[in-house]
Amino acid sequence: MKIFVLCALLCLPLAGCSDYRGLDAQTIVMGIAVDEGDNGSLRVTFEIVDMDSLSSSANELETRLLETQGHTFTEAVRAGNAKLRRNMYLGNAETVILSRGIAQSRGLDAITDPLMRDNEVRCTLILIISGEDSARELLEPSGMIMSHFLTQNISAGRVSANAAQPQTLYEVSEILKENASGIALPVVRFSDRETGELTLDGLALFSQGKLTGHLGSGDTPYYLLAKTKLSGGSFRLDDGEKYAVADIRTSVPSINARYDGQKLYCEVLVDISAAAVELSPDWGAADTGAVHGLERDLSAMLSARIKSVIEEMHREHGVDGAGFGSRLRARDPNLWDELSGQWHSLIKEADVSVRCNVRVNNTGLVK
């Protein structure tokens, strides 16, 4: 009998959710844009679901923009709640857009820290840098949920060398906490402001959480080859006399960092499987000799371009974008503790070597 009574009493505190809120008690936020406000404050724009559209007969969900200000992100959220009948719910937010001014003056941690501490926020939302004068501008085009549109389009090409690699809130937060590597976030701008058409515009480079530079769209694919596994993307080889176009099938990079007591050495090895999709007549018949020559020339070209991009990131921007610091920290924690305080200066003077091994295993001649 006592056991039955105890079980019955336990049903009371274990049933239901104490913090449950229905749709009628909250305002759903789809995206967030952060700009510089007045007197050093943050100007935060929320793309929120128009609750009236939920109850209308229209099939499409509608959103509107709510702008607030605060000296901190949390203060801006509270200011937004004060303007609404229902408090904002951030659990559906898919993207956070930062202006270049905020990224440079405040840095990433001022935004990622409060978001990571909020139990409602998804760790998988992505961070974007606005290529326009403000972050809010990217949320202004009407007729679609812009936050969802941005997220879907950027994430769709994450395995291709010809697209930007999105970084999630969790990934950025972990890199900032580790403080061993730089961060590269996709930059988005309008290609046609009248139609609201958007395009990727390279990567924004961060060192110790602060914006320090920009990597152009032409250099981004070579950075991605050194940074992440790929299964897509196209590269053109052109020496002035003959040209070839190769498509990436698989690309697997490996990096290493070593220190000899005076100088840092950064090594990159990239194994690439590719298909030759276009060859100029100067190559002749696509026999074994031509394929081996194409593999040799592609390997040399990609090695040189990757090396040039990494050296630019290191020396001009002080950004360890490929993650050599993280690699060294994982392999030799004691050495990392010794070098971490001078890593920024070491990476600027590091000796970089890159070797690409390209295998062309498809010339498109056998159907």
Mean predicted confidence (pLDDT) in 142-166: 74
- How far is residue 96 CA from its own chain's centroid? 11
Beta-carbon count within 10 A of 156 CB: 11
pLDDT at site 363: 74
Exposure of 61 in the CB half-sphere (CA atoms within 13 A)? 12
Strand, coil or helix: 179: coil
pLDDT at site 150: 85
Backbone angles phi, psi at 224, to 5 degrees: -65, -30
- The better pLDDT of the pair 54, 128 is held by 128
In contact, 320 and 314? CB cutoff 8 Å: yes
- pLDDT confidence tier of residue 51, bands split at 50, 70 and 90: low
Instruction: Pick the range with the lowest mean pLDDT from 133-142, 275-284, 337-346.
Output: 275-284
List b or e across 57-72, with b for residues whose CB sees 16 or more CB atoms inside 10 angstroms: eeeeebbeebbbbbee
At CA 146, angle to CA 142 and CA 149, rounded to 5? 125
Mean predicted confidence (pLDDT) in 101-113: 94
Mean pLDDT of the chain: 86
- pLDDT confidence tier of residue 72, bands split at 50, 70 and 90: very high
Residue range 278-311, pLDDT digits in tens: 888 887 766 677 888 889 999 999 999 999 999 9
- pLDDT confidence tier of residue 20, bands split at 50, 70 and 90: very low
Residue range 235-256, pLDDT digits in tens: 998 887 888 889 999 999 999 9
In contact, 169 and 127? CB cutoff 8 Å: yes
Cα gap 23→30, rounded to integer Å: 14
Cα gap 138→36, rounded to integer Å: 15
Cα gap 197→191, rounded to integer Å: 6
Instruction: Pick the range with the lowest mean pLDDT from 15-19, 30-34, 64-68, 316-320.
Output: 15-19
Asked whether residue 328 carries a pLDDT value surpassing 50, the answer given is yes
Beta-carbon count within 10 A of 228 CB: 16
Mean predicted confidence (pLDDT) in 82-93: 89
Q: Cβ neighbours of residue 296 under 8 Å, at least 6 residues apart?
A: none
Query: E strands along 83-169, which residues?
Result: 87-89, 95-98, 126-130, 167-168
Token output for 202: 């390279």
Residue range 166-195, pLDDT digits in tens: 899 999 999 999 888 899 999 999 888 777
pLDDT at site 149: 83
Token output for 23: 């749709």
pTM over 0.95: no
Asked whether residue 56 carries a pLDDT value surpassing 70, the answer given is no
Asked whether residue 3 carries a pLDDT value surpassing 80, the answer given is no
Asked whether residue 11 carries a pLDDT value surpassing 60, the answer given is no
Cα gap 256→350, rounded to integer Å: 12
Cα gap 326→175, rounded to integer Å: 9
pLDDT at site 338: 93
Query: E strands along the chain, which residues?
Result: 26-36, 42-49, 63-70, 87-89, 95-98, 126-130, 167-168, 183-192, 197-207, 210-215, 234-238, 243-259, 264-279, 351-362
Beta-carbon count within 10 A of 345 CB: 11
